[in-house]
Amino acid sequence: MQLVITLAGQDRLDLIEELTRVIKECKCHIVESRMTELGAEFGAHLLVDGNWNHIVKLEHALEAMGARDHIKVGMMRAKDAQAEDENVIPYGVDIFASDHIDNLHELATFFTKRDIKILDMSSSRYPAPYSNTPLLVARMIVKIPVGVRIVSLRDEFLEFCDQQNLDAILEPVKR
């Protein structure tokens, strides 16, 4: 059985250690996680695996941890994982650009309109050296259906990036 967990709260030195200890004590395993400092706050997404009784124990332990430490905890039991989709090819997308409010939305729209699922997206914003111009760096993993002509998609993507003034790379995910 799997449990999807989201946490948000004030960051502190031992928060990840406490969270991983609670999971370990409930005899569960972390399948996937993203835990990070967001400004002065903390945010985490985890997929945890365990026997049903261990998952129930973990749900109670996380609720107690959230109440005690003033952390917002969200949990949802995951549906059974389906077999890996063999009709898609994972591609990585790296973007570098001056930051505009619509950049990420326009990127998401580009892929969604072409029935390409965004598997993962991460981004950060920082001031450029010397000029302090706000810059955006984003990384996405998308699932391109095998029937899509990659050369045509790449041409469309480069045209889109040119219109949006984005510097980007679209390349297969390599192991």
Q: What is the pLDDT of residues 107-135, one digit of tens each?
A: 999 999 999 999 999 999 888 889 988 99
Structural domain contains residue 96: yes
* Res. 81: pLDDT tops 60: no
Looking at the fold, whether 95 and 67 belong to one and the same domain comes out as no
- Provide, rounded to the nearest whole percent, the portion of the chain with pLDDT above 90: 81
Q: What is the pLDDT of residue 171?
A: 95
Q: What is the pLDDT of residue 82?
A: 56
Count of domains forming the chain: 2
Band of residue 80 on the pLDDT scale cut at 50, 70, 90: low
Looking at the fold, whether 69 and 105 belong to one and the same domain comes out as no
Which of 24, 57, 77 is a domain's end point?
Answer: 77
Structural domain contains residue 83: no
Looking at the fold, whether 69 and 101 belong to one and the same domain comes out as no
Per the structure, the complete domain to which residue 68 belongs is given by: 2-77
Which of 16, 46, 77 is a domain's end point?
Answer: 77
Q: What is the pLDDT of residue 79?
A: 83
Structural domain contains residue 10: yes
CA 9 – CA 88 distance, rounded (Å): 36
Which of 56, 77, 98 is a domain's end point?
Answer: 77
Structural domain contains residue 142: yes
Structural domain contains residue 94: yes
Looking at the fold, whether 168 and 94 belong to one and the same domain comes out as yes
Q: What is the pLDDT of residue 84?
A: 55
* Res. 104: pLDDT tops 60: yes
Looking at the fold, whether 73 and 24 belong to one and the same domain comes out as yes
Q: What letter represents residue 61's amino acid?
A: A
- Indicate which CATH number applies to the domain containing 43: 3.30.70.260
